[in-house]
Structure 1
């Protein structure tokens, strides 16, 4: 008996992947870990509840959305363009990190994490949120509730959420065009 496979082709972190034969039904997180050694996306609950496995789908119009890799199989992503946590920072020729994103810097500056298990999902969620704010700014009076709406489904078992939320709030306030009076 053999395992049924199908071909998979997609863009991951700006690079073409595939076509590659992938077992039908393999969760995307397993494909990322086992086939590509992209292990920064973490498996948490396995039911799409905790959002530790969140990555970004990049759309042709420049927008992005969050997707969870534990509940979608790899073939769901066929033909799509995604960004994992490994694709956020800029890397030099030897693979060393040369620059981090404003979201990553805000999280570091606020020491938003302890164990870091949920951080990759929070980076994806906060990045999607910040990109949306740049297209659709919110009123200053609505910023706190907009952050809660954007990050509320992400679960952190260490620090609570205050530092993540403060980091995103401060970044939104410091980024021109995201918040209007």
Structure 2
């Protein structure tokens, strides 16, 4: 008995992938890990609860949203555009990281991780959040509660939340147009 496969085409980290035959029902996280060697996105609970598997899905209007990869099969993403944790930083012509995003840099500066397992999901959520603030700024007095809401679904088993929130607050306050008085 053979495994049923279907054609899949999408864009990941700015690169067209496919058409490639992928097993029907294969979770996207497995496709990322096993077929594309993109292992930065983490498999946590396998039920979409912890959000360690979160990537950015770029909507047709260019707006990024968070999408979990453990609960959707690869074919759910057919024709879509995704950015994994590997695709967020700028890279040079040799593929080496040349410039971290403001969120990534702030996470390092605030040491916003302990074991680091959940960090790719938090970086993705924070990036989506800051991008939303660029379109719809928040009052300074409401910033902390908005950060908590934006990151609330992400689970850190090492209790690194305070540092994650501080890093995001730092970026939001330093990014022109995100916070209004």
TM-score normalized with structure 1 length: 0.98
Deviations 1:18-51 (A, max 9, x none): 0000000000000000000000000000000000
- 1:60, CA displacement in angstroms? 2.5
Unaligned runs of 5+ in 2: none
Tell me, in whole angstroms, the C-alpha distance in 2 between the residues paired with 1:24 and 1:62: 28
Q: Which residue of 2 aligns with 1:7?
A: 7
Tell me, in whole angstroms, the C-alpha distance in 2 between the residues paired with 1:156 and 1:180: 30
Q: CA RMSD in A?
A: 0.7
- 1:159, CA displacement in angstroms? 3.5
Q: How does 1:86-125 map to 2 (within 5 A)?
A: 86-125=86-125
**Runs of 4 or more above 6 Å deviation:** none
**How many residues of Structure 1 are paired with residues of Structure 2 in the alignment?**
181
Contact (CA 8 Å) 1:4, 1:24: kept in 2 or not?
A: yes
Q: Which residue of 1 aligns with 2:56?
A: 56
Tell me, in whole angstroms, the C-alpha distance in 2 between the residues paired with 1:148 and 1:62: 24
TM-score normalized with structure 2 length: 0.98
Unaligned runs of 5+ in 1: none
